[in-house]
Chains A and B, each alone.
Chain A
Amino acid sequence: MIERTPVLNVLTHVILLSGLVLLMGPLWIAFVAATHDMRTVNSPPVELWPGPYLFDNIREAWAISDFGRKFLNTFYVSVGVVAGKIVIACITAFSIVFFNYRGRMVVFWLVFITLMLPLEVRIVPTYAVAANALQPFQFIADWTGISWLWAQITGGALSMEWNLLNSYTGLILPLVATATGTFLYRQFFMTIPDELVEAARMDGAGPVRFLIDVLIPLSRTNMAALATIMFVYSWNQYLWPILIITDRANYGMVAVELRTLIPNQLTTGGGAPTWHLAMAATLLIMIPPILVVIFMQRWFVRGLINTDK
């Protein structure tokens, strides 16, 4: 029920505006802090209006943290994660929706369960696997006696090792599996009428052709929505990179790097609290996700709310 009375109108606008202030307030303060020098930022009262040093601060923060390299790294990883997620989600959903095989429901539920196991929950075992991605195979080989057999035949011990620490692969692979994306695709695929599938079969198109010629073009809006969400998600990755990247100079990601700019006992060691630099870097780091969202917005919204057949 939609009512329109002057009182309600005022009230709803008050609520809207306070929402806006709550949302934009911290951003504004960060922006203001990024435009002053250290002394102004650190002396009360809190400044509410911008000062003249924005570009100086940005330049300094950029230089201190070598952000050029970090931006590129994060960009590679985000693109990799997004591409991986889209491919995997699309293929998994394709299999679940369009093929009739025994393990179908099992696959579906396995994917479903991973919703309850985000990276943060399984981070220790994931780290163990990243340290040696072939570890599970080694375990199986040891357990089944294949290692023993190998040792008998070749005379050397069977040891499989694939270390993902300090590598792009390590940053990307564990983030690629996505239940959300799979479900998004599944929902979309289920809206494809059976007749369309059958028409393609009559036209002689096999499953792969159907996927490429019909499903993928039809799911473009889905893809845009997924890509947007996942780009932001992987751009902001913090916990996983901090764990597996020790070679920060070469493989550092922006969120981790930002953390080192935020003053505390560890980073400043009692030195100057450089909040103005931290805030300048924050602004910088926000830019790429914002650009992606702005560019993708049109398709993104359509993909989430509209089945657009």
Chain B
Amino acid sequence: MADISIRDVRKAYGKDEVVHGVSLDIRNGEFVVILGPSGCGKSTLLRMIAGLEAITSGEIAIAGKVVNELEPRHRGCAMVFQNYALYPHMSVADNIGYALKVAGMNKADRLEKVTRVAGSVGLGEFLDRKPGQLSGGQRQRVAMARAIIREPKVFLFDEPLSNLDAKLRTQMRHEIRRIHNRIKATSVFVTHDQHEGMTLADRMVIMNKGTIEQVGTPEDVYLHPASTYVAGFIGSPAMNFLSGRITEAQRAVLIDGGARLAITPEAARGHDGLRVQVGLRPEQIGLAQPGQPGMTAAFDFAEELGSARLYHFLHDGQPVTVHSDQKVDFTVGQDVTLAIPEASVHLFDATTTRSLTADTALQARAAARLHVA
């Protein structure tokens, strides 16, 4: 059991810096997901924690002990790799037990432990098989068992599910969460799949081009994205963005193209005349009832999802998507009024791309959580 503390860590390959000063505290027993697009430095960060990659500058401590100079085997971390990285010539049992063999455990103890751990991930009857004779999901389980058996302080996962088909991925995701609940080891899980991240994480770390954009619970990150980057990355379908300008006197934002959206007084205060990006989640806006105020937009096309529909509109040429369980058939080009509650309007400074409101809202949420606890 261990917490991980990352202090201003940088990584450069030659002159190329790919991780630019990341600081992060991971609490003991926490399940943290590092989420970001491919190439943003997630794996590099994870591999620095594991000790597979040298740290260019900064400091990483595990359980209070700085590990910068420690070999991977002395850090107490186990890792599950994307391509499983099983030893092709060893049986499942030998794969799972290899770390124990290296550590010098005798054969009888090893066998007993391997049998127990393999049983716990449903591999009991495959112990004599070679990895080549297993399905993708079973190989993934072997990789998990190989990590579990070492009883590590820290579990590291580098996109372990991305080679599985959709159904198996969901199943393994549940299994990973279940194993975490049972073992409660600190876990760091890297993925580029927001859905995977949201569903697994206690806390999420959103990365972009080698820096951290936001750290928070999945709900925090969804409800109060700290920047347009996070707002656009989290949520499916993606958030709508419209440009506009705040007028403090009217407590509103004037969207380019004419619409006027009411906003909360806190959002408007002190921001008169500021150019903003207005973020609207497709599922937080709806089709207005007759007579209800809102923003008009021209209907473009709709996508049927079964339980709901995705409506695509254009407001002065800017696309707006609405996710609604109301089913209405519009004609192309028809003007439709969209209902936009003021709490659903996310405002981002157009130049810095940072949210105007997320910080205060998140502090309030944190305070409330502390209060409950």
Q: Which residue numbers of A lie inside 8 Å of B, CB to CB?
A: 193, 195-196, 198-205, 209, 213-214, 217-218, 309
**B232 an interface residue at 8 Å Cβ cutoff?**
no
A217 cross-chain contacts in B, Cβ below 8 A: 89
B-side interface residues toward A, CB under 8 Å? 47, 50-52, 71-73, 77-79, 81-89, 98-99, 102-103, 146, 150
Q: How far is the CA of A203 from the CA of B98 in the complex (A)?
A: 7
How far apart are A244's CB and chain B's nearest CB, in angstroms? 41
Can you name 22 A-B pairs with beta carbons within 8 Å? A193-B85, A195-B83, A196-B85, A198-B52, A198-B72, A198-B79, A198-B81, A199-B79, A199-B81, A199-B87, A200-B98, A201-B52, A202-B73, A202-B77, A202-B99, A203-B73, A203-B99, A203-B102, A203-B146, A204-B72, A204-B103, A209-B102
Instruction: Name the CB-closest residue of B to A197.
Output: B85
Contact of B89 among A201, A203, A218 (CB under 8 A): A218
A54 to B135, CA, bound (A): 59
Contact of B98 among A193, A198, A213, A218 (CB under 8 A): A213
Most buried by B among A200, A209, A218: A200
A193 to B87, CA, bound (A): 11
Interface contact A309-B88, CB-CB below 8 Å: yes
Q: Is A195 within 8 A of B81, CB to CB? A: yes
Secondary structure type dominating chain A contacts = helix
Contact call A198/B85, Cβ cutoff below 8 A: yes
Residues in chain B near residue A196, CB distance under 8 A: 85, 87
The residue in chain A whose Cβ has the minimal distance to the Cβ of B158 is A195
Q: Give B89 Cβ to nearest chain A Cβ, in Å.
A: 5
Contacting residues, chain B, for A309 (C-beta < 8 A): 88
B-chain residues with CB within 8 Å of residue A203 when the two chains form the complex:
73, 98-99, 102, 146, 150
What is the CA–CA distance of A202 and B77 in the complex, to the nearest angstrom? 7
A204 to B87 alpha-carbon distance, docked (Å): 14
Residues of chain B within 8 A of A193, CB atoms compared: 83, 85
Contact B102–A204 (Cβ < 8 Å): yes
Q: Given the complex, which residues of A lie within 8 Å of B87, measured CB to CB?
A: 196, 199-200, 213-214
Q: Which residue of A lies closest to B143 (CB)?
A: A199
**Interface centre among A193, A195, A217, by most B CB within 10 Å?**
A195
Partner of A218, one of B47, B51, B72, B88: B88
A204 neighbours in B (Cβ, 8 Å): 72-73, 99, 102-103
Nearest chain A residue, comparing its CB with the CB of B102: A204
Q: Which residue of B lies closest to A220 (CB)?
A: B89
Contacts of A202 in B (CB 8 A): 50, 52, 72-73, 77-79, 99
Listed from nearest, the 6 A-B pairs whose CB atoms lie closest are A195-B85, A204-B73, A199-B85, A203-B99, A204-B102, A195-B81
| Chain A neighbourhood of B79, CB < 8 A | 198-199, 202
- A195, B46: Cα distance in complex, Å: 14
**Least CB distance, B107 to chain A, in whole angstroms:** 15
User: For residue B87, which residue of chain A has the nearest CB?
Assistant: A214
Beyond A195-B81, A196-B85, A199-B86: 4 further Cβ-contacts under 8 Å?
A195-B82, A199-B87, A202-B77, A204-B103
Query: Bound state CA distance, A209 and B102, in angstroms?
Result: 8
Q: Report A-chain residues with C-beta under 8 Å of the C-beta of B52.
A: 198, 201-202
- Once the chains are docked, how many angstroms separate the CA of A196 from the CA of B83? 9
Please give the distance in Å from B180's CB to the nearest CB on chain A.
Answer: 19
**Shortest CB–CB separation between residue B23 and chain A, in angstroms?**
25
Bound-state CA distance A209–B101 (Å) is: 11
Q: State how many angstroms separate the Cβ of B287 from the closest Cβ of chain A.
A: 50
Most A CB contacts (10 A, CB to CB) among B50, B89, B150 go to: B89
Which residues on B sit within 8 Å (CB–CB) of A209? 102
